[in-house]
Structure 1
Amino acid sequence: MDKSDKIIVGISIGDLNGIGIEVILKTFEDKRMLDFCTPVLFGATKVISYHKKALGIETPVHGISSINQITHSKINILNVWKEDVNIELGTSTKESGEYAAKSLEAAMKNLKENSIDVLLTAPINKENIQSDTFNFPGHTEYLEANLEGKSLMILMTDKLRIGLITGHIPISKVAETITPELIKSKVEIMYNSLVKDFGINRPKMAVLSLNPHCGDKGVIGQEDDEIIKPTIEEIRETGKLVFGPYAADGFFGSETYKQFDGVLATYHDQGLAPFKALSFGKGVNFTAGLSHIRTSPDHGTGFDIAGKNLANPSSFIEALFAAIQIFKTRNEYKELTENALAIR
């Protein structure tokens, strides 16, 4: 591959006191990783050097002050700030959240300008990152506010993709939030993503029920019979292969999920609990439906093991490869459809 053709992966470094920088450094310990992409970390050389020394990791890095100075054979650190930052590994501080936001904002700017091809985000702490400029429940909502399109959080491995109809909201708000319009919107985003980002021509999707046992014909709630089931039937009339609702316990317990290209859970833990039980450490969080590609590992800041050289980079590595593959598949789809239109 010509170096100028390499996919440029922008990486926000996450909470400075967590394991984000550790898994980034471990990901690129193997020099062969640079054959697949050109990484650009948004942060500061001083911060990365601190972590390298604390962890005893020798991964070489290359500091730059402008995106135009990228070296394709090295791990680039774009210096977003010059001042010293107080690092307290394993501790959540306002300062570590503030600089996590600075890293993310710089990465987002370059993503929107197409100076980087994809965005890979290390974990943030959702509490300490809050400020006047960052007032979002998490990455997904921040991305949707800054990019074109409507987002869908998809947790994925090679064999399982789970999207969320509702995201970071209290469980008490879930039932009232699920409407036919929301279900249709999320099905549409997942369908389009499966086609364009994963190259599946006729995807088969499942929707999980809101209530236990799909409501047991109204005994344990009306939402499945009155909202979810009729909406699925309406969507299926348009030709999409969408089935359900399925009771989540039996759906995962009987491995029915293996029959589908994509699964939509009605709320966060309904989808993420079984996903992480089945694939923790190798899962990827992909934000579908937006104009640009973003992935992240399936774990958090890991304050309890930060600075101890115990963090496993497997999920971060999977997130890196997922971003690269989705970028390629999306571009191939674009080329194919543009050529088809040109022929017509």
Structure 2
Amino acid sequence: MKKAQKVRIGISIGDLNGIGSEIILKTFQDPRMLEFCTPVIFANTKLLSFYKKHFKLNVNFQGIENASKVIDGKINVVNVWKENTKINFGKEDKFLGKFTVKSLEGATEALIKKEIDTLVTAPINKNVIQSEEFNFPGHTDYLAKAMKGDSLMLMICKNLRIGLLTDHVAVKDVAEKITPELIQKKVTIIHDTLKKDFRIQKPKIAVLGINPHSGDNGVIGKEDEEILKPTILKINEKGTLVYGPYSADSFFGTKNYQNFDAVIAAYHDQGLIPFKTLSFGRGVNYTAGLSRIRTSPDHGTAYEIAGKGEADFTSFKEAVFASIEIFKCRKEYLKLTKNQLQKQSKKL
């Protein structure tokens, strides 16, 4: 009997002067990881050899021309550039930023072509990757455009899941960005994601208020009364179990979040501060709503410790395992859905 192919995890290298390379190599230094997946790193073998030597890590990898040549059970490195790169840990470098982009673009192309099953992205510095050709605030926006789909940033750690109505948006612009259409779209994405990617048949979703105390019946801003409440009621009437808006300041302290399968925060810090406080560096950023699976660690480039060998790879490792589990859940869901449709067609 032919041995089943392991999940192929595509990995983009992230900021070359950050901790991305360190957490990637530390994760796969453990040979047991190859029992769960086949990693495919989009970078350059010479560069990874430099990192391996610098961090004194015992890890071996196989260089390949492109993702169609992946060797199952090995650590594969797709050489997406040939130029030599000079690493200066902890420093912003716009020249090196173009290699970060090449890695991400190569991995995304392979993901779309199904040469890899999932994508795990190492942290980037958004400032050094900006150019006329690449003008995106982050991974989420780039991937949404590349895959022609709507997306939602969903932070996950075990049964804690926090999604965002608005992500990389200035606080002064948050209220005007939140419309009934946006709320309905984001609730639909997270509802469908919970069903197909997390095996939750009847998801319960909480929505946090935009203003302090959810506006105090219009005393502190009218957005909660005029936009959030009526939209949530309308969605609920259609059978989706969505509740709120809840006052964000007490929602997590009272552990009310434990009564829901997911929570939707109005803006970035409203959701990310409690999430990172509760997850203690074990969290994963999942881009929900796309046709392909992408996860990442819940931290940044950590320039202050880059190159010192001090980086904790727990979150990156969790991102790898999350991508494997979500891939399997979605595959199972699609198979069940297909079988149900076939049974229905036979009855007709």
Using the size of structure 1 for normalisation, the TM-score is 0.98
Secondary structure in 2 matching 1:290: coil
The answer to which of 244-253 and 1-10 deviates more is: 1-10
In structure 1, give the amino acid aligned to 2:43: G
Q: Which residue of structure 2 aligns with residue 311 of structure 1?
A: 311
The Cα offsets for residues 30-52 of structure 1, whole Å up to 9 and x where unpaired, read as 10100101000000011111111
Secondary structure in 2 matching 1:220: coil
Q: Which residue of structure 2 aligns with residue 162 of structure 1?
A: 162
Q: Which residue of structure 2 aligns with residue 273 of structure 1?
A: 273
Residues 132-171 of structure 1: matches in 2 within 5 Å?
132-171=132-171
In the alignment, does 2:71 pair up with 1:87? no
Q: Which residue of structure 1 aligns with residue 12 of structure 2?
A: 12
Secondary structure in 1 matching 2:275: helix
Residues 265-304 of structure 1: matches in 2 within 5 Å?
265-304=265-304
The answer to which of 195-204 and 212-221 deviates more is: 212-221
Q: Which residue of structure 2 aligns with residue 40 of structure 1?
A: 40
Q: Which residue of structure 1 aligns with residue 235 of structure 2?
A: 235
Residue 73 of structure 1, CA deviation: 2.1
Contact 1:205/1:263, CA 8 A, preserved across alignment: yes
Q: Which residue of structure 2 aligns with residue 255 of structure 1?
A: 255
Q: Which residue of structure 2 aligns with residue 123 of structure 1?
A: 123
Contact 2:157/2:282, CA 8 A, preserved across alignment: yes
Contact 1:229/1:244, CA 8 A, preserved across alignment: yes
CA distance 1:3–1:23, change in 2 (3 Å): farther
Q: Write the distance in 2 (CA, Å) between the matches of 1:208 and 1:97.
A: 36
Secondary structure in 1 matching 2:289: strand
Secondary structure in 2 matching 1:5: coil
Q: Write the distance in 1 (CA, Å) between the matches of 2:165 and 2:99.
A: 31
The Cα offsets for residues 171-209 of structure 1, whole Å up to 9 and x where unpaired, read as 111000111111011000000000011010000000000
Contact 1:152/1:190, CA 8 A, preserved across alignment: yes
Residue 301 of structure 1, CA deviation: 0.5
In structure 2, give the amino acid aligned to 1:273: I
The Cα offsets for residues 45-100 of structure 1, whole Å up to 9 and x where unpaired, read as 11111111111112111111232332212111111111101111111101221110
Q: Write the distance in 2 (CA, Å) between the matches of 1:15 and 1:4.
A: 34
Contact 1:86/1:95, CA 8 A, preserved across alignment: no
CA distance 1:3–1:301, change in 2 (3 Å): farther
Q: Write the distance in 2 (CA, Å) between the matches of 1:159 and 1:72.
A: 31
Q: Write the distance in 2 (CA, Å) between the matches of 1:281 and 1:53.
A: 26
The Cα offsets for residues 7-35 of structure 1, whole Å up to 9 and x where unpaired, read as 11000000111000100001011101001
CA distance 1:68–1:4, change in 2 (3 Å): farther
Runs of 4+ in structure 1 over 2 Å off: 1-4, 66-69
Q: Write the distance in 2 (CA, Å) between the matches of 1:182 and 1:218.
A: 21
Secondary structure in 1 matching 2:263: strand
Q: Write the distance in 1 (CA, Å) between the matches of 2:64 and 2:236.
A: 52
In structure 2, give the amino acid aligned to 1:77: V
Q: Write the distance in 2 (CA, Å) between the matches of 1:302 and 1:249.
A: 28
Q: Which residue of structure 2 aligns with residue 67 of structure 1?
A: 67
Q: Write the distance in 2 (CA, Å) between the matches of 1:40 and 1:193.
A: 25
Residue 2 of structure 1, CA deviation: 5.7
In structure 1, give the amino acid aligned to 2:174: V
Secondary structure in 1 matching 2:119: strand
Q: Write the distance in 2 (CA, Å) between the matches of 1:81 and 1:149.
A: 28
Q: Which residue of structure 2 aligns with residue 325 of structure 1?
A: 325
Contact 2:5/2:72, CA 8 A, preserved across alignment: no
Q: Write the distance in 2 (CA, Å) between the matches of 1:21 and 1:125.
A: 14
Q: Write the distance in 1 (CA, Å) between the matches of 2:24 and 2:305.
A: 15
In the alignment, does 2:212 pair up with 1:219? no
Using the size of structure 2 for normalisation, the TM-score is 0.97
Q: What 5-or-longer segments of structure 2 have no aligned partner?
A: none
Residue 149 of structure 1, CA deviation: 2.1
Q: Write the distance in 1 (CA, Å) between the matches of 2:148 and 2:32.
A: 34
In structure 2, give the amino acid aligned to 1:177: K
Contact 1:284/1:297, CA 8 A, preserved across alignment: yes
In structure 2, give the amino acid aligned to 1:300: G
In structure 2, give the amino acid aligned to 1:191: H
Contact 1:224/1:245, CA 8 A, preserved across alignment: yes
Secondary structure in 1 matching 2:303: coil
Q: Which residue of structure 2 aligns with residue 341 of structure 1?
A: 341
Secondary structure in 2 matching 1:82: coil
Q: Write the distance in 2 (CA, Å) between the matches of 1:299 and 1:157.
A: 13
CA distance 1:243–1:148, change in 2 (3 Å): same
Contact 1:4/1:72, CA 8 A, preserved across alignment: no
Residue 259 of structure 1, CA deviation: 0.5
Secondary structure in 2 matching 1:182: helix
The answer to which of 320-329 and 82-91 deviates more is: 82-91
Contact 2:6/2:73, CA 8 A, preserved across alignment: no
Contact 2:11/2:121, CA 8 A, preserved across alignment: yes
Equivalenced residue count is 344
Q: Write the distance in 1 (CA, Å) between the matches of 2:62 and 2:327.
A: 25
